[in-house]
Structure 1
């Protein structure tokens, strides 16, 4: 298991600067975002020079590209907005292997036109589900064409808002191209300790055959997000559950400042290295 971080945690619009900062903070991998190349998170076109710069920076720093963000609002109420996001997904997919990764991360979106991370009463309706399924049909064709995988992250405010819904998506699409980005802090908001532990354990068990990367952020007692290790999640238990499930991939932290990054790396590294597999 490697300790990783969102590349955009660090300031800079060149991969050299960003990956060097990740390395110096103690990380072996990043979830890359093309904003770190000065192109925005969803570029319409990606120059060959930008792809080469990522590859070269990864080789120079020793920091792997675990995944690349291609997140857009898959159920935006405006179809044109969805289509623009899909075109960017396709552009990122076309360069992913050359940039060093075969995994593109997405969220499943919200009917909220202004904020894909904000809940909307229509998100759990049949029409939103069907729009999402149709969008995945397009993305899977792109993924097949470019031999990449799609990492779907359950989010409380999105269509896929639980492990059970993620399992439903996998079973519905019946494609090995769909993988899961599992973030324990996205599975609950306010729960007691026993319920929280059960939700996380059950999610890992339900999705263990499809988890591509695991995320590491936390929740404060009031339900707001916190830096990994600073909130209510039992991280030794979470990592042990991942290990029991056979997961040995990247654990990517985010939702923290660059100043906090070395401390989180120091917190996660011994947990990921430990051979202990008990809760």
Structure 2
């Protein structure tokens, strides 16, 4: 495994500055966001020079582009908003290979028109599911055209709110282009230690053939999010479960400040090191 971080953790609107900061904090990869190129998170037009700058910064710093964020509200109640998000996804997909990645990350959205990370009573209804499936039909056509993969992250407030729902999506779409971004802190809110561990272990076992990226975020005892290693998640158990499942990809941390980044890199290093090896 490699330790990675959300690129937008660090201030800057050029990839050379942001990736150098990631390397300086101890990370080998990033989940990139086009906001770090000064274009916003969901640009509909991406200049070739901006793409070349990402590749050049990656080569100069040695920081890999593990994935690129293309997250938009896939079930927004306003269809025009979905279409705008889809255009951005297509633009990012067209740039992905040249930027150094083949994985675009998405979440499945909420019927909440103002906040795609906020739950809504209609999210688990049949209509929301059907709208999401229709949207994935569009995204998979784009993925095939540009030879990229779609990393879907289960989120408690979204349509795909569990490992079981993620598996249902995989089986419904029947496409090898669907991959999973697994964040243990997104699988529960407030559970006892053993239940937390069982939920995370079960999710990894159910999705192990599709996990492309593992996230490193945490939960506080009051269910609020926390920096990895400072909450209630048993990280040694989590990482051991990933290793048993054969995962050897990037562990990407987020939800932390730039000042916290070196400490999290140091926390993750011995956990993700190969058995019998050094971090």
Q: Residue 48 of structure 1 aligns with which residue? A: 48
Superposed, 1:135-146 pairs within 5 Å as 135-146=135-146
Aligned to 2:259, what secondary structure does the other structure show?
helix
Q: Deviations over 1:114-163 (max 9, x none)?
A: 00000000000000000000000000000000000000000000000000
Matched, 1:134 2:131: no
Q: Residue 104 of structure 1 aligns with which residue? A: 104
CA deviation after TM superposition for structure 1 residue 44, in Å:
1.0
Q: Deviations over 1:44-72 (max 9, x none)?
A: 10000000000000000000000000000
Structure 1: distance between partners of 2:195 and 2:65 = 34
Structure 2: distance between partners of 1:247 and 1:231 = 23
Query: TM-score by structure 2 length?
Result: 0.98
Superposed, 1:68-79 pairs within 5 Å as 68-79=68-79
Q: Which runs of 5+ in 2 are unaligned?
A: none
Matched, 1:182 2:158: no
Q: Which runs of 5+ in 1 are unaligned?
A: none
Query: TM-score by structure 1 length?
Result: 0.98
Aligned to 2:260, what secondary structure does the other structure show?
helix
Q: Residue 260 of structure 2 aligns with which residue? A: 260
Structure 1: distance between partners of 2:78 and 2:8 = 28
Q: Deviations over 1:145-197 (max 9, x none)?
A: 00000000000000000000000000000000000000000000000011100
Structure 1 runs, 4 residues or longer, greater than 3 Å off: none
Matched, 1:7 2:24: no
Structure 1: distance between partners of 2:118 and 2:270 = 35
Q: Residue 172 of structure 2 aligns with which residue? A: 172
Q: Deviations over 1:20-44 (max 9, x none)?
A: 0000000000000000000000001
What count of residue pairs does the alignment treat as equivalent?
276
Structure 2: distance between partners of 1:44 and 1:178 = 23
Q: Residue 30 of structure 1 aligns with which residue? A: 30
Q: Residue 154 of structure 1 aligns with which residue? A: 154
Structure 2: distance between partners of 1:55 and 1:114 = 34
Q: Residue 208 of structure 1 aligns with which residue? A: 208
- The CA RMSD measured in Å over matched residues stands at 0.5
Structure 2: distance between partners of 1:162 and 1:275 = 30
Q: Residue 239 of structure 1 aligns with which residue? A: 239
